[in-house]
């Protein structure tokens, strides 16, 4: 008589509260046992790492102690909770170990944020609030309609698709660029990265939602900005480093009808330990700014947690994981 088959183990490497733990267990649906690294002493940590079939992490660079990464012997997946993991030291991972981001986990709230920023720019909300504070009542200064214009989306994954659906409801046409040059999501035009110039020139609103990779690092510079319409609205939800900081600032100064809506910044606390900018963007009237909080919506972290666990469960059930990170995205 043989013993019961061993159940897979999901090792959660970050601190998580009771409600989060319950969500992990529930999302696993009995396919694996959840083990929480924060509960374990050093010997038990070593055993848990060696026995883990998958890891669920925020930032292994902070959550794993020196030498612990080498203990991961049988893991079939390291799943991160966030969509962008360019700040995690992935180069230390064994090259054959599958690593996945939680791409699209915060797509819906981030899409709403993109829409809010674009509307604030088009309707001059911040500009006219400042004018009102100075006693100026510019009732007849025209604003803009987004309906009938082109929303360009650079990065037509989960966030890009969710944004397209909202913008389409306003009557915008959707132009997009992704790696494949195709998508199941309807678009009026879709191309590949080598057609980015075409996207830039056509866009009334350009939403950047592509990952930071070696190819996208400082991809948007002086030349690329010069291709855009003089009154275009640029919304960056992704990473500040995709845009050349100085080039964007000088373009905004030289083109006062152009608006930059910045949720992503070049130096940020979570990734770099501080917030700072090299150019005084917040002194410009044609900037709409937020502290990279487009994903910070009440109650949504549980949704994102469950989506990450679902990818681990897919592996436990014999499927292939989604959203694997390629070598071009392993920057740190």
- Just give the CATH number of 107-289: 3.40.50.720
pLDDT of residue 236: 98
Sheet bearing 77-80, strands edge to edge = 33-36, 9-12, 54-57, 77-80, 99-100
**What pLDDT shows up at residue 298?**
94
Identify the sign of the CA torsion 25, 26, 27, 30: positive
Q: Which pLDDT belongs to residue 1?
A: 39
206 and 233 Cβ atoms separated by less than 8 Å: yes
CA dist 184 and 190 (Å) reads 11
Kindly give the interhelix angle for 125-133 and 107-122, rounded to the nearest 10 degrees.
50
Same fold, 9-104+299-329 and 107-289: yes
Residue 293, pLDDT score:
97
- The pLDDT score that the predictor gives to residue 4 is 59
What tokens appear for 200 in the block?
């830039």
What is the residue extent of each domain of the chain? 9-104+299-329, 107-289
Rounded to the nearest 5°, which phi and psi values hold at 104?
85, 0
Q: Kindly give, in sequence order, each residue whose CB lies less than 8 Å from that of residue 34, ignoring residues fewer than 6 positions away.
A: 9, 10, 12, 21, 24, 25, 28
Radius of gyration from C-alpha coordinates of the chain? 22
CATH architecture of 9-104+299-329: 3-Layer(aba) Sandwich (3.40)
Q: What is the pLDDT of residue 140?
A: 98
Residue 182 sits at φ, ψ, to 5 deg, of -155, 160
79-110: pLDDT as tens digits: 999 998 888 988 888 878 999 999 999 999 99
Residues of the chain with pLDDT under 70: 1-4, 332
- 300's tokens: 């949504």
């Amino acid at each position: 008589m043989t013993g019961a088959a061993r159940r897979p183990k999901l090792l959660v490497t970050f601190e998580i509260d009771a409600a989060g733990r319950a969500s992990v267990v529930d999302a696993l649906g009995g396919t694996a046992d959840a083990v929480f690294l924060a509960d374990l002493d050093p010997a038990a940590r070593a055993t848990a790492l060696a026995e883990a079939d998958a890891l669920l992490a925020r930032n292994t660079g902070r959550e794993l102690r020196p030498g612990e990464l080498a203990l991961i012997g049988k893991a079939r997946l390291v799943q991160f909770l966030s969509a962008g993991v360019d700040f995690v030291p992935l180069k230390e991972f064994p090259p054959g170990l599958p690593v996945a981001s939680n791409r699209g986990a915060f797509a819906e709230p981030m899409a709403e944020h993109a829409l809010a920023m674009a509307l604030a720019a088009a309707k001059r909300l911040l500009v006219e609030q400042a004018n009102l504070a100075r006693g100026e009542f510019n009732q007849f200064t025209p604003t803009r309609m987004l309906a009938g214009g082109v929303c360009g989306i650079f990065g037509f994954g989960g966030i890009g698709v969710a944004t397209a659906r909202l913008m389409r409801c306003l009557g915008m046409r959707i132009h997009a660029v992704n790696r494949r040059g195709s998508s199941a999501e309807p678009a009026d035009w879709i191309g590949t990265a080598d057609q980015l110039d075409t996207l830039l020139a056509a866009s009334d609103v350009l939403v950047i939602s592509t990952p930071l990779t070696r190819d996208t690092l400082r991809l948007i510079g002086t030349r690329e900005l010069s291709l855009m319409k003089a009154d275009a609205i640029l919304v960056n939800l992704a990473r500040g480093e995709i845009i050349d900081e100085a080039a964007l600032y000088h373009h905004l100064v030289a083109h006062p009808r152009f608006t930059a809506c910045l949720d992503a910044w070049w130096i940020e606390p979570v990734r770099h330990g501080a917030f700072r900018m090299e150019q005084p963007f917040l002194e410009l009237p044609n900037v709409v700014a937020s502290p990279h909080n487009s994903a910070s919506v009440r109650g949504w972290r549980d949704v994102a947690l469950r989506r990450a666990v679902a990818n681990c469960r897919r592996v436990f059930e014999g499927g292939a994981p989604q959203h694997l990170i390629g070598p071009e995205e392993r920057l740190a």
